Amino acid sequence: MDRLDRLRRLTARDHLLLSWLAEHYVLSTGQIAAALFPSLRSARLRLAVLHSLQAVTRFVDVTTGDRQYLYTLGPLGAVVYPTQYNDPRRTDGRDPRSSVERTERIIGSRKLAHLIGTNQLFVDLHAYTRTDENARLARWWSEQHATAVYGAVAAAATGPGIRPDGHGIWEAGGREVGFFLEHDNGTETIGTVLRKLREYDRLAAGGPRYPVLLRVPSRRREQHLLDVLAGVRLAMPVATGIHTEHPAGPAWTLTHDPAPRRWLHELPSDHGPENPATNPHRYPGAASA
């Protein structure tokens, strides 16, 4: 089968999946099934077809005990989406010469488990929209994408720019909430977390005021952060949550107002001034997912 025939066999859902793999590097079988398919079996069947078409590449997940397949762009997928974010280890690294090299970088990245954890929040939100017709994940940007757009704005205010693990815009309950994600595995010191939050404050000076979501692995880690941040004045709202709680629901605790726990769409959010020099939300094409 030649390339044109294989391209013709790709559906709209296939293209959405490939665009996600182009920007977000890697997704598990379970994540793909939850976000895009009616069942795990139907996801596996279609993924087997996409693998045979070389649209995706798969390898066994060795970061957890379930040993499910993880998927990245295959040679055909890289033809369709050739210029997306290509290296999970370095934002300034050279582009990979092939989809094989790109996959090798992802497999060999020390950030692999972190990437899967980061992507889980957005997968959960996308899956939620399938049960609520009034909810929508209007934007899902990777670390590299968000850093490229917002990092320069924060750096212009003197100092390093932000490097969120992800950025999204969530629509639910009649509200639109932008947010930055910091996926915390409990390995960073509190001092490092505080330095990151100060960088977000520089962005708030002239750009949007989106809540920073500190998503942590345990209630103990969350409480430690809440205790430390209770006396810290921050320009950007900060909310803590636990990995195992659904991100769309009442899973978030604002550090400056710790009760009650809030739904994601209830968090304070401000797109900021309509100034394209300081607010990327208003850039042409910025609202694309």
DSSP codes of every residue in 70-93: EEEE-HHHHHHS-SS---SS-TTS
pLDDT at 283: 40
pTM over 0.85: yes
- Please compute the mean of the pLDDT values over residues 255-273 and round it to a whole number: 92
Question: What value does the mean pLDDT of the chain take?
Answer: 85
- 125-154, pLDDT tens digit by residue? 999 999 999 999 999 999 888 888 887 665
What is the distance between the alpha carbons of residues 279 and 213, in angstroms, rounded to a whole number?
20
pLDDT at 288: 40
- 3-108 maps to which CATH number? 1.10.10.10
Tokens linked to 17: 């999946």
Name the percent of the chain lying above pLDDT 70: 81
More confident residue, 108 or 48: 48
Side by side, which strands form the sheet with 212-216? 136-142, 166-172, 175-183, 212-216, 238-242, 252-254, 257-262
Q: What are the extents of the domains in the chain? A: 3-108, 114-282
What is the distance between the alpha carbons of residues 236 and 51, in angstroms, rounded to a whole number?
43
pLDDT at 284: 34
pLDDT at 216: 96
- From 26-35, 190-199, 217-226, the region with the lowest mean pLDDT: 190-199
Is pLDDT at 93 greater than 80 in this prediction?
no
pLDDT at 96: 57
Based on the number of CB atoms within 10 Å of its own CB, is 4 exposed (0-12), middle (13-18) or buried (19 or more)? exposed
3-state SS, residue 179: strand
More confident residue, 82 or 219: 219
Length of the chain: 289
More confident residue, 207 or 84: 207
Reported confidence tier of residue 94, pLDDT bands at 50, 70, 90: low
pLDDT at 160: 60
Tokens linked to 51: 């693998």
More confident residue, 81 or 246: 246
Name the percent of the chain lying above pLDDT 90: 59
- Please compute the mean of the pLDDT values over residues 172-190 and round it to a whole number: 93
